[in-house]
Amino acid sequence: AQTVTQSQPEMSVQEAETVTLSCTYDTSESDYYLFWYKQPPSRQMILVIRQEAYKQQNATENRFSVNFQKAAKSFSLKISDSQLGDAAMYFCAGLNNAGNMLTFGGGTRLMVKP
């Protein structure tokens, strides 16, 4: 992706509730990869979930799932049954056309209220 945009600088959710983080991207490619990364406070960034654009099925990893709308160039992350440990910065990212660089969005800070 050439550009990745996260329009929500901060979000909050009640523990055990569901929250959706938004991401839009722009690319001229027909086949590409999109990612969500999580950066907990003072801890290392880790991959949450990955979506391959040619796959129509939305990726799911336990409580994390994506809503991938290819035509709308939208890639949102849904977190179900939110836990206190989900509190973190979340970054959406897309792989560039050459497949050797990631472009990151500005991030969304997620707060989880007990």
Torsion, Cα 11 12 18 23, to 10 degrees, reads 10
Instruction: Give the per-residue contact string, 83-102, with another protein (x = CB under 8 A; - = no).
Output: --------x-x-x---xxxx
Q: Which is nearer to another protein, 64 or 104 (CB)?
A: 104
Q: In the complex, what is the shortest distance from the CB of residue 75 to another protein, in angstroms, rounded to a whole number?
A: 15
Write out the binding residues for another protein, residues 3-22 only, by CB under 8 A.
4, 6, 9
Would you count residue 64 as binding another protein (CB under 8 A)? no
**Which phi and psi angles does 84 have, rounded to 5°?**
-55, -35
Strand, helix or coil at 5?
strand
Torsion, Cα 69 70 74 77, to 10 degrees, reads 60
Q: In the complex, what is the shortest distance from the CB of residue 16 to another protein, in angstroms, rounded to a whole number?
A: 29
